[in-house]
């Protein structure tokens, strides 16, 4: 396997670039084609070719790298896409509520049976009855750290806890080697709530105030808010601690190993609990080609197809039957396929109302500004 | 009765109006409509302004809440203020850097002027985004500048250049400088250098001659250049996002946040509308000044 | 040398007084631009109260000399003295010299008043004094009531007067005028010539004027310098230079001259006899020749100093007489200009005042004519 080009970056500007570069497909002109809108670097290209070969359906494949881009396009209507891949929270649930997604006709998706019922059950918090989507890939949000540097600066630090980042005294000690914060309020705030032992979906003012206090406490020690590029920063040794996605962390570790400069990157889903996310295969309500969309979902849910994708992008899938075909190194990586006991500590979130969302935006803006 | 076709004159006059109403007025009204509606979960994510009630009566539901929030919440006010300040400082920096450039080009031998002007415009031949990205390569901790300074032994630790106000202004000034240089050049190339000799002859020292003659006579170019930098810089989103520090919550970023993160289209539209009005004032002033200058 | 008797009344002609102290001294000044020598070792003394004209074609160096006097150019070598002071290190803004520019160079963003007041403001004079002096200047140049106008709201003549007022208001020791009338039409130009002279005499300021227009130089200047290729061809009063040109260039540049070639035949106390090398004729002059016997010289005779009449039958060229055929007659209104073709192929010009109204000319096309002149009209020039 060549170095996996995975990067699942919720990058603001990447999103911008995607808006600039990808025009909505011309639905009328491409009536027969299937229009897919997925995260960038998030599939095995051979899989798409195989789908076209087997079905004769051409695939127009566009990529986004921020949920904001995806949502804005779908909420504007007539996006022209047949398949979209929103993350369960906040986008998937909100798109369902906005009526932007159509229910999936399971009769057309026999491979639905391949899906892991445990994971699908988790997804029900966003989509009761699993009517609107099938899990594509999933993962957690946690901490990636440079083993050598952290040991050097804070040998006594608990590397399995959110304290590594959120405890100001530890953050201060680690600041010299570079702390990178993910620039994404929807991912960070629930994790802080969890670290504080509060309800991860809380909209209570007092709770958010505590979140803000916690974040402000470590604000002086943050070197950069990353809009993408975390992998590079970690792998090159420019950063030693990052709040990031599991896949990105694994990717960074791979790259650091290849560089062979003694940088050892590890990912941890902290013991207090890590947010679980699912990227979901869904069909927009106004999809021009829903039949092809159903066939594509059915195609992807085959064990060998899913195994190929996981082998490429290093994220786990939700088709257990694919596991025998997944490469050993990936399969046995606790960070990719968590153990059951790990899994018990993971949590999911639900969307918050708009007013609360704004309050969080404000909190985040103040945090970034450091005032 | 005969049907009279509109005369050619009417058509010629109507064309710019048609253009403006189609591409300026209509979009503005759409934005205004969204600004006055209420956010909702749906496609599109706002409630219609015009609604049929159950009794079949068409009602207009206007929501002034967004505008009220805008003016009552210091968060937005601060962002506007910061954006105006950043734009004004950028405009002044461009002026300070661009004026000598434009002056030098205008005074250069004729055969060299076109080459120099082309060099000013040359950056436009590459992608804007790419040029901003290039600044990241220059300013990053392991970027060109830091590496050079480290190698030269001037510094022992990389100094933070990227994600600072310095980087923000460097980016804006770099990207918008041609918009300052070109109108300044246009004005200065029309400027007769014999006026400077006349001023010197009458006892004005070089600096005084510049202040009393050259500067006032290049005022139209200064205003045009400043506006061309200031106006887009107020709403600039990409440069502060890529180069600026996290503290720089400019109005472009706030608008983005309202639109994308909060998915509050009406709020975003209200922000855009107020931004437009904020810019109309300096533009109107500019027009007024131009009118005066050409009189 | 005989003196011309048309000096301006009241002018003392200080240049004739060996004791007089020159006011402006240009001493061996040379200025090069790249490979071209714009001003070539020029020395010139100008006296207080003069209206001195620098006359020459384009590229003659007259403007460069003027700009060096103003301080816009520095001489490569030589010195410029003004009222006993060396101007070498005095920048334009500190020289007691003002200039009226050819284009007037009025400040377009300032009113007439502000334009005139500019120089006084730069000197930091009190407001009230500025006001008074500007008002006096406006009066002098007859622009009262135009104070608030902008330059583009004025006619060409009015602009010229604003420029003059602006350059005079500081009461400079020396006023430089670069083609002061060049931008005016002919009628206005003549009127303005006299106005300028009147103002100059009234204020007593020394003027140095650059012009390419010989008529302007002749009518206005106390003295003039003819410049050619950067050197001074001749300096003198207009009459001196016109009547006694010292070179073929000056003779032909100033007015019209018929120039012949010849060899000095004999020299004596009462003048010279020159044998033409072009025709079978002699030229008699009443001045001493510049060269010894046998030397090649030019002979210049002005058209208005020649008489023309029908030739007698069998009459041929002789001493101060040439015979030819009328090729052309140009009617100028105030005089006629005859073009007479000589048998040897050369043409000469002879003018004749138009003394009567459209009476039949006694001479017409193709007439065989004799052209004669007195010895004083024969100007002998070195080759």
pLDDT exceeds 90 at position A29: no
Retrieve residue B154's tokens: 């001037």
Q: Any CB–CB contact under 8 A between B108 and chain C?
A: no
Q: ∠ CA A295-A296-A300 to the nearest 5 degrees? A: 120
Which ipTM value was assigned to this complex? 0.85
With 0-12 / 13-18 / 19 or more C-beta atoms within 10 angstroms meaning exposed / middle / buried, residue C33 is exposed
Q: What is the pLDDT of residues A105-119, one digit of tens each?
A: 999 999 999 999 999
Q: What is the pLDDT of residue C289?
A: 62
Instruction: Please list, in sequence order, all residues whose beta carbon lies within 8 angstroms of the beta carbon of residue C62, skipping any fewer than 6 positions away.
Output: C54, C55, C56, C210, C212, C227
Fold match between domain A12-139+276-338 and domain A140-275+350-369: yes
pLDDT exceeds 80 at position A326: yes
H or E element, residue B35: helix B26-35
Q: What is the CA radius of gyration of chain B?
A: 25
Q: Do B43 and A185 touch (CB under 8 A)?
A: no
pLDDT exceeds 50 at position A31: no
State the smallest CA–CA distance between residue B234 and chain C in angstroms: 32
CB C57 within 8 A of CB C212: yes
| More confidently predicted of C313 and C45 | C45
Retrieve residue A189's tokens: 């705030």
Backbone angles phi, psi at A238, to 5 degrees: -80, -20
Q: Which residues of B touch A224 (CB under 8 A)?
A: 163
Q: Do C97 and B201 touch (CB under 8 A)?
A: yes
Most confident of A54-68, B147-161, C63-77: C63-77
Touching partners of B (3+ C-beta pairs < 8 Å): A, C
CB A171 within 8 A of CB A239: no
Torsional class of C229: left (φ above 0), alpha (ψ -120 to 50), beta (otherwise): left
Retrieve residue C113's tokens: 């008043």
Q: Do C107 and B202 touch (CB under 8 A)?
A: no
Q: Which residues of B touch A371 (CB under 8 A)?
A: 247
Taking the mean position of all CA atoms in its chain, how far away is CA C85? 27
CB C226 within 8 A of CB C253: yes
What domains appear along chain C, each with residue ranges and CATH number? 14-96+172-248 (3.40.50.300), 256-382 (2.40.50.140)
Q: What is the pLDDT of residue A2?
A: 34
Residue with tokens 């302007």: C216
Q: Do A76 and B75 touch (CB under 8 A)?
A: no
**3-class secondary structure per residue, A188-203:** HHHHHHHHCCCCCCCC
C-alpha closest to that of A233 among A18, A63, A11: A11
C-alpha closest to that of A245 among A191, A193, A311: A191
Chain A nearest-CA residue for B40: A98
Closest partner residue to A238 (CB to CB) among B45, B142, B260 is B142
Retrieve residue A174's tokens: 């680690």
Task: Quote the CA–CA distance of C217 and C5 in Å, as a whole number.
Answer: 17
| Mean pLDDT value across residues A260-270 | 89
| Mean pLDDT value across residues C43-49 | 94
Q: List the CATH code of the domain at A140-275+350-369.
A: 3.40.190.10
State the smallest CA–CA distance between residue B200 and chain C in angstroms: 5
- Of A162-176, A199-213, C325-339, C357-371, the one with minimum mean pLDDT is C357-371
Residue C286 pLDDT level (bands cut at 50, 70, 90): confident
pLDDT exceeds 50 at position A14: no
CA-to-CA dists, residue A326 to A42, A63, A266, A306, B222, angstroms:
16, 25, 21, 9, 65
Residue C362 pLDDT level (bands cut at 50, 70, 90): confident
CB A280 within 8 A of CB A87: yes
State in Å, rounded, how far the first CA of chain B is from the last one.
46
Q: What is the pLDDT of residue B228?
A: 92
Retrieve residue C356's tokens: 């009567």
Q: What is the pLDDT of residue C342?
A: 92
Q: What is the pLDDT of residue C10?
A: 52
- Of A260-274, A351-365, C149-163, C203-217, the one with minimum mean pLDDT is A351-365
Residue C301 pLDDT level (bands cut at 50, 70, 90): very high
Task: Quote the CA–CA distance of A187 and A200 in Å, as a whole number.
Answer: 11
Closest partner residue to C108 (CB to CB) among B202, B205, B217 is B217
Q: Any CB–CB contact under 8 A between C284 and chain B?
A: no
Instruction: Please list, in sequence order, all residues whose beta carbon lies within 8 angstroms of the beta carbon of residue C265, skipping any fewer than 6 positions away.
Output: C272, C273, C274, C275, C282, C293
Q: ∠ CA A174-A180-A186 to the nearest 5 degrees? A: 130
Where are the domains positioned within chain A? 12-139+276-338, 140-275+350-369
Backbone angles phi, psi at C300, to 5 degrees: -115, 135
- Using DSSP's 3-state secondary structure scheme, residue A164 falls into helix
Task: Quote the CA–CA distance of C142 and A87 in Å, as a whole number.
Answer: 86
CB A81 within 8 A of CB A25: yes
Q: Digits of tens for pLDDT over chain B (295 positions)?
A: 555 666 777 778 888 888 888 888 899 899 988 888 888 777 788 888 777 777 777 777 778 888 888 888 888 888 899 999 999 999 999 999 999 999 999 999 989 999 999 999 998 889 999 999 899 889 987 789 999 999 998 888 888 888 889 999 999 999 999 999 999 999 999 999 999 999 999 999 999 999 999 999 999 899 999 999 999 999 899 898 888 877 667 899 889 888 887 788 899 999 999 988 888 877 888 778 777 765 5
Retrieve residue A340's tokens: 């059951």
- Using DSSP's 3-state secondary structure scheme, residue B230 falls into helix
Closest partner residue to A17 (CB to CB) among B45, B129, B254 is B129
Torsional class of B153: left (φ above 0), alpha (ψ -120 to 50), beta (otherwise): left
CA-to-CA dists, residue A94 to A74, A288, A293, C187, angstroms:
11, 21, 21, 88
Residue A228 pLDDT level (bands cut at 50, 70, 90): low
Q: What is the pLDDT of residue A12?
A: 36
| Mean pLDDT value across residues A24-49 | 76
Q: Which residues of B touch A66 (CB under 8 A)?
A: 260
CB burial of A265-303 (b: ≥16 within 10 Å; e: otherwise) equals bbbbbbebbbbbbbbbbbbbbbbbbbebbbbbbbbbbbb
Q: Tell me which fold the domain A12-139+276-338 belongs to.
A: D-Maltodextrin-Binding Protein; domain 2 (3.40.190)
Chain B nearest-CA residue for C167: B202
What domains appear along chain B, each with residue ranges and CATH number? 64-294 (1.10.3720.10)
Q: ∠ CA C158-C162-C166 to the nearest 5 degrees? A: 170
Touching partners of A (3+ C-beta pairs < 8 Å): B
Chain B nearest-CA residue for C70: B201
Task: Quote the CA–CA distance of A340 and A116 in Å, as a whole number.
Answer: 14
pLDDT exceeds 90 at position A229: no
Taking one residue from B and the other from C, the number of pairs with CB-CB distance under 8 angstroms is 62
Task: Quote the CA–CA distance of B236 and B174 in Å, as a whole number.
Answer: 13
pLDDT exceeds 70 at position A9: no
Chain B nearest-CA residue for A21: B129
Q: Do A94 and B260 touch (CB under 8 A)?
A: no
C368-372 and C321-331 strand pairing: antiparallel
Q: What is the pLDDT of residue A313?
A: 86
Q: What is the pLDDT of residues C100-158, one digit of tens each?
A: 999 999 999 999 999 999 999 999 999 999 999 999 999 999 999 999 999 999 999 99
Q: Any CB–CB contact under 8 A between C33 and chain B?
A: no
CA-to-CA dists, residue A50 to A299, A316, C217, C358, angstroms:
10, 21, 97, 111
């Amino acid at each position: 396997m060549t170095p996996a080009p995975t990067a699942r970056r919720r990058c603001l500007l990447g999103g911008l670039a995607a808006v600039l570069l990808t025009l909505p497909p011309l639905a009328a002109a491409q009536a027969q084609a299937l229009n897919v809108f997925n995260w960038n670097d998030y599939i095995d290209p051979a899989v798409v070719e195989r789908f076209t070969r087997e079905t004769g359906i051409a695939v127009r494949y566009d990529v986004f790298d921020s949920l904001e881009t995806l949502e804005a396009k779908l909420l504007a209507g007539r996006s022209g896409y047949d398949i979209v891949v929103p993350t369960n929270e906040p986008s998937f649930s909100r798109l369902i509520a906005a009526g932007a997604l159509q229910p999936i006709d399971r009769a057309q998706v026999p491979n639905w049976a391949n899906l892991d019922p445990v994971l699908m059950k988790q997804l029900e918090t966003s989509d009761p009855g699993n009517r609107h989507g099938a899990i594509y890939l999933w993962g957690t949000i946690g901490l990636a750290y440079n083993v050598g540097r952290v040991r050097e600066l804070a040998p006594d630090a608990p590397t399995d806890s959110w304290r590594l980042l959120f405890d100001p005294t530890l953050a201060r000690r680690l600041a010299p080697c570079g702390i990178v914060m993910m620039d994404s309020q929807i991912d960070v705030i629930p994790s802080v709530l969890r670290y504080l032992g509060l309800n991860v979906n809380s909209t209570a003012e007092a709770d958010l105030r505590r979140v803000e206090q916690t974040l402000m406490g470590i604000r002086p020690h943050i070197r950069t808010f990353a809009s993408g590029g975390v992998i590079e920063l970690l792998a090159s040794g420019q950063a030693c601690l990052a709040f990031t996605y599991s896949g990105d962390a694994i990717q960074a570790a791979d790259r650091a190993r290849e560089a062979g400069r003694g940088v050892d990157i590890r990912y941890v889903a902290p013991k207090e609990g890590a947010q679980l996310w699912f990227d979901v295969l869904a069909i927009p309500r106004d999809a021009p080609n829903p039949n092809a969309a159903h066939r594509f979902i059915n195609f992807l849910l085959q064990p060998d197809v899913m195994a190929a994708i996981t082998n490429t992008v290093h994220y786990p899938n939700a088709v257990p039957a694919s596991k025998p075909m997944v490469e050993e190194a990936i399969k046995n990586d606790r960070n990719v396929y968590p153990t059951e006991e790990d899994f018990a500590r993971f949590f999911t979130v639900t969307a918050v109302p708009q007013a609360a969302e704004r309050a969080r935006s404000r909190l985040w803006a103040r945090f970034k500004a450091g005032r | 009765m005969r049907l009279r076709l509109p005369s050619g004159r009417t058509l010629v006059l109507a064309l710019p109006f048609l253009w403006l109403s189609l591409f300026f007025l209509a979009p503005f009204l759409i934005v205004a409509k969204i600004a006055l509606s209420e956010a909702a979960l749906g496609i599109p994510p706002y409630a219609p302004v015009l609604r049929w009630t159950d009794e079949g009566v068409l009602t207009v539901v206007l929501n002034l809440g967004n505008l009220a929030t805008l003016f009552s919440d210091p968060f937005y006010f601060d962002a506007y203020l910061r954006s105006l300040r950043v734009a004004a400082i950028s405009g002044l920096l461009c002026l300070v850097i661009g004026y000598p450039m434009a002056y030098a080009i205008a005074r250069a031998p004729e055969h060299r002027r076109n080459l120099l002007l082309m060099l000013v415009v040359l950056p436009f031949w590459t992608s804007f985004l790419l040029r901003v990205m290039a600044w990241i390569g220059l300013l990053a901790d392991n970027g060109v500048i830091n590496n050079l300074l480290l190698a030269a032994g001037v510094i022992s630790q990389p100094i933070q250049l990227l994600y600072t106000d310095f980087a923000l202004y460097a980016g804006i000034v770099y990207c918008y400088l041609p918009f300052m240089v070109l109108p300044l050049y246009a004005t200065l190339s029309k400027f007769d250098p014999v006026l400077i000799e006349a001023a010197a002859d009458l006892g004005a020292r070089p600096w005084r001659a510049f202040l009393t003659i050259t500067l006032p006579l290049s005022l139209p170019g200064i205003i045009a250049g400043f506006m061309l930098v200031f106006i887009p810089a107020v709403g600039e989103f990409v440069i502060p996002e890529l180069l600026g520090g996290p503290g720089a919550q400019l109005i472009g970023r706030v608008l983005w946040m309202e639109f994308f993160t909060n998915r509050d289209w009406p709020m975003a539209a209200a922000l855009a509308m107020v931004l437009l009005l904020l810019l109309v004032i300096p533009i109107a002033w500019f027009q007024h000044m131009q009118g005066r200058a050409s009189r | 040398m005989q003196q011309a008797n048309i000096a301006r009344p009241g002018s003392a002609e200080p240049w004739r007084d060996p004791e007089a102290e020159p006011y402006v001294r240009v001493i061996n000044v040379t200025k090069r631009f790249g490979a071209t020598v714009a001003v070539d070792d020029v020395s010139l003394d100008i006296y207080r109260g003069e209206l001195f004209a620098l006359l020459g074609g384009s590229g003659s160096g007259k403007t460069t000399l003027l700009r060096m006097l103003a301080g816009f150019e520095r001489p490569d070598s030589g010195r410029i003295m003004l009222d006993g002071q060396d101007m070498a290190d005095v920048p334009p803004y500190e020289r007691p010299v003002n200039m009226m520019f050819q284009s007037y160079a009025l400040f377009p963003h300032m009113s007439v008043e502000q334009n005139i007041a500019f120089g006084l403001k730069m000197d930091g004079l009190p407001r009230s004094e500025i006001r008074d002096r500007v008002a006096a200047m406006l009066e002098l140049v007859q622009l009262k009531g135009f104070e608030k106008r902008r330059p583009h709201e004025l006619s060409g003549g009015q602009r010229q007067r604003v420029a003059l007022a602006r350059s005079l208001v500081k009461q400079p020791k020396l006023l430089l005028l670069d083609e002061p009338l060049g931008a005016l039409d002919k009628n206005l130009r003549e009127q303005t010539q006299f106005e300028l002279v009147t103002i100059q005499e009234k204020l007593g300021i020394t003027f140095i004027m650059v012009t390419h227009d010989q008529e302007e130089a002749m009518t206005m200047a106390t003295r003039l310098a003819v410049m050619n290729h950067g050197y001074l061809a001749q300096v003198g009063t207009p009459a001196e230079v016109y009547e006694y040109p010292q070179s073929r260039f000056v003779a032909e540049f100033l007015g019209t001259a018929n120039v012949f070639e010849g060899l000095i035949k004999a020299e004596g106390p009462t003048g010279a006899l020159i044998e033409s090398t072009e025709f079978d004729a002699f030229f008699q002059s009443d001045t001493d020749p510049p060269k010894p016997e046998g030397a090649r010289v030019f002979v210049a005779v002005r058209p208005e100093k020649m008489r023309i009449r029908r030739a007698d039958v069998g009459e041929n060229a002789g001493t101060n007489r040439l015979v030819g055929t009328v090729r052309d007659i140009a009617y100028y209104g105030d005089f006629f200009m005859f073009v007479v073709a000589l048998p040897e192929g050369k043409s000469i010009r002879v003018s004749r005042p138009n003394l009567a109204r459209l009476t039949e000319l006694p001479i017409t096309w193709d007439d065989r004519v004799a052209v004669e002149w007195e010895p004083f009209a024969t100007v002998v020039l070195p080759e």
